[in-house]
Amino acid sequence: MAPGQSQRHGGQHRPPAPPPGPTPRAKAATATAPTLPIPALALTLAAALTVALATAAAPQDSPDSVQPGPEGFDMRIIAEGLEGPWELTLGPDDHLWVTERTAGRITRIDPSTGAATTLATLPEVEAPGGQDGLLGMALDPAMLQGAGRDHVYAAYTYIDPALPPDPDVQDPDSPYLHLHTKIVRLTWSPEAGALEDPQDIITGLPASNDHNSGRLKFGPDGMLYLTIGDQGNNQLGNWCIPIEAQRLPTKAELEAKDYAAYVGKSLRIAPDGTIPVDNPELDGVKSHVFTYGHRNMQGIAFGPDGTLYASEQGPKTDDEINILKKGGNYGWPHVAGYADNNAYVYARWAESGDTPCADLEFSDLEIPSGVPFDRETDWDGQDSMIPPVATLFTVPNDWNFADPACGGIDFICWPTVAASSIEHYPATGGVPGWGNSLIVTTLKRGSLYRIGLEADGQSVLPPFERYFQSENRFRDTALSPDGLTIYVATDPGGLAESLDGGTTQQMQNPGAILAFTWREGGAQPQDGQMVTGSTDPAPGQSEPLAAEEQIATGQFLPATFTEEQVNSGKASYNSACASCHGNTLQNGTMGPPLAGQNFEAKWKSQTVADLYAYSHDKMPPSRPASLPPETYAAITAYILRVNGANRGDQPLLTDPDAQANQFVIPPEKQDGAAD
């Protein structure tokens, strides 16, 4: 989500500049890609998506402007039912090694049979939300080669009450109060066939309820590289917390092992956790920081010559493909993509002057009066920042970020893809035409993008190609030794673009490892080639009630809740739910909307008992029923109020029987739905 990315401003622009671009007008609907029964569909971006390699990028069209490309892959399901597969690596044993984010588990899978073995379970892992838990994993380059380095390194979030609390977390009961990230080293035991003896390498790294990043890789120099995001600050439930991606650590902080300034950075870490002697010196201090000015860098990969590529999620526009260079500044939050003043401004919500930030309502589309903002070219550091080699995608200022065609879930239609990982594809062998490419997985688009590289690997070759379009969230990839099979890990849930151009939260292959194998010479689609899976209704939700009959006979009962519950529920929602569902209940990028037409369509015939039970029994996904019943009732009351229900004198009770005849959607909307 964009921190104040907008074409409508009431804020204070510092320094002065000409008025911003016009208010976006509804543009002609962009034709969506046809639904074709081919997972091997390669969608070559139209000429309008030409990538600008200069600092000032030419406007690029939406990723929806695509045309069919070559076919030729077979798809099969390797494994299913994984609990948040996040890192996917082909090990030296030619098996797939996987981290399961919410289970805190490292699993090894035989790609030929799908047989899975648990190698380690890390009980210290805490995954209270959607962007934490067991994340990155890196196998020692000499593993299983008789060098005495049979080690696996893992990055995960954990709770440590001995460390100072996060000053930005106000709820004393929040799991994020003492949440941090660490890297541990595990050792392979051939006797046990497992990973054992986890040893801390570095602890106390930042963690939050959003944008933890967490990708971990070994470089050809033998060092570990870790990405840490900007913690989702200056947006959604964290809109009053400043972004510190530009702040560099001080000597005093390092001496105290205070790593708070590591947010929005890539780190270069010696395998024993120390600072490498040849790390960059920034502002007179040498730390673990390798690069800075990042938002949410979920993918890093090395090319054969040591070039370090990265994929980074942008706000509303400009997911980035970067080449990371020692000591480099990549511009965030002053610049998203290129410093071109296209469809992004940096609104500094925490610095609101007229009204305290906490009293404001965060918006993705408008900046309130009193909130200062800057255009990209206002930043005096733009000349020294390193621009991306490509964006996915840059659009002009008149782009409509609230197109009604998006059905109220605006972020799905934004010109970003939610890049979640990156892999370098070798120059020789493998799939014809793929040599010397980058492959990027996407969460929103449920597909894989192939980005060709020039021979020197320092710039890209448009057009891009889009493969394996599906109703999934693609998380990570691994390559078979011959390069002919691309293994893809999928999220167990979330929101993605549907094949008809809308939005879906029913994943075709939730929590799975898929294999896409090139058929020699290509071929036409065969039976079983579709990316398919269950589209059953979400579990835990009752069958629709006969709302129309109850309304007609006068049996409809409005929900009952108090103003005190609404206020309490709003605070609890912002603390526990906003990072996934959005602060407006409609602008989240992971959880489904909890207000608006999509919510109404889903819940119009459901009771308050259904909504309360679903929230209590299923949320948060990694720790359901972890909040007090009264808190779930208060959050339910807040959701009801946002959806138009009227507060009253009687509280919403936690007894399901007392909620059974109360409908989620107010009577006037039910009447409309029944007509």
**CA dihedral sign, ordered 625, 626, 630, 632:** negative
pLDDT digits (tens, 9 = 90+) for 447-488: 999 999 999 999 998 888 899 999 999 999 999 999 999 999
Indicate if the pLDDT at residue 221 is higher than 50. Answer: yes
Please report which residue ranges of 558-628 form alpha helices under DSSP H: 563-576, 578-581, 597-603, 608-618
| pLDDT (0 to 100) of residue 663 | 79
Instruction: Count Cα atoms within 13 angstroms, Cβ side, for 194.
Output: 10
What's the start-to-end Cα distance of the chain, in Å?
36
- 594-599: list long-range contacts, CB under 8 Å, 24+ apart: 594/639, 594/642, 594/643, 595/639, 595/642, 595/643, 596/408, 596/409, 597/407, 597/408, 598/407, 598/408, 598/409, 598/503, 599/643
pLDDT digits (tens, 9 = 90+) for 519-564: 876 543 333 333 433 333 333 444 444 444 554 445 567 788 899 9
Question: How many domains is the chain partitioned into structurally?
Answer: 2
Instruction: Say if residues 293 and 264 touch (Cβ distance below 8 Å).
Output: yes
Residue 539 lies in a domain: no
**Does residue 462 sit in the same domain as residue 596?**
no
Cα 135 to Cα 294: distance, rounded to the nearest angstrom: 18
Residue 541 lies in a domain: no
Residue 535 lies in a domain: no
CATH of the domain at 140: 2.120.10.30
User: Which structural domain, as residue segments, surrounds residue 606?
Assistant: 547-674
| Mean pLDDT on 634-640 | 89
**Does residue 256 sit in the same domain as residue 330?**
yes
pLDDT digits (tens, 9 = 90+) for 555-602: 567 788 899 998 888 888 877 787 677 777 776 655 677 887 667 777
| pLDDT (0 to 100) of residue 409 | 84
3-state SS assignment for residue 225: strand
**Does residue 507 sit in the same domain as residue 562?**
no
pLDDT digits (tens, 9 = 90+) for 45-86: 333 333 333 333 333 334 443 334 467 899 999 999 999 999
Whether the upstream peptide bond of residue 333 has omega within 30° of 0, thus cis, is: yes
Helices 629-642 and 563-576 cross at an angle (nearest 10°) of 100
**Does residue 505 sit in the same domain as residue 555?**
no
Give the type of residue at 658. A
**Does residue 367 sit in the same domain as residue 483?**
yes
**Where do we find the tokens 């720790």?**
623
Last residue of a domain, one of 479, 499, 518: 518
Strand partners for 526: none
Instruction: Say if residues 11 and 367 touch (Cβ distance below 8 Å).
Output: yes
Catalytic residues: 211
Opening angle at CA 503, ends 500 and 509, nearest 5 = 85
| pLDDT (0 to 100) of residue 536 | 37
| pLDDT (0 to 100) of residue 643 | 85
Instruction: Name the band, by pLDDT with cuts 50, 70 and 90, for residue 443.
Output: very high
CATH of the domain at 639: 1.10.760.10
**Does residue 182 sit in the same domain as residue 319?**
yes
Residue 525 lies in a domain: no
Residue 127 lies in a domain: yes
**Does residue 461 sit in the same domain as residue 602?**
no
Residue 255 lies in a domain: yes
| pLDDT (0 to 100) of residue 381 | 95
- Give the strand pairing for 496-497 and 503-504: antiparallel
Last residue of a domain, one of 481, 502, 518: 518
**Does residue 512 sit in the same domain as residue 562?**
no
| pLDDT (0 to 100) of residue 185 | 99
pLDDT digits (tens, 9 = 90+) for 376-434: 999 999 999 999 999 999 988 988 888 776 777 888 888 999 999 999 999 988 999 99
Whether the upstream peptide bond of residue 666 has omega within 30° of 0, thus cis, is: no
Opening angle at CA 435, ends 429 and 441, nearest 5 = 115
Last residue of a domain, one of 497, 518, 539: 518
Opening angle at CA 317, ends 370 and 457, nearest 5 = 135
Whether the upstream peptide bond of residue 15 has omega within 30° of 0, thus cis, is: yes
| pLDDT (0 to 100) of residue 243 | 98
**Does residue 24 sit in the same domain as residue 143?**
yes
pLDDT digits (tens, 9 = 90+) for 292-346: 999 999 999 999 999 999 999 999 999 999 999 999 999 999 999 999 999 999 9
Residue 157 lies in a domain: yes
**Does residue 501 sit in the same domain as residue 608?**
no
Residue 534 lies in a domain: no
**Does residue 471 sit in the same domain as residue 611?**
no
222 torsion bin: left (phi>0), alpha (psi -120 to 50), beta (else): left
**Does residue 238 sit in the same domain as residue 367?**
yes
Around Cβ 550, how many Cβ atoms within 10 Å?
Answer: 18
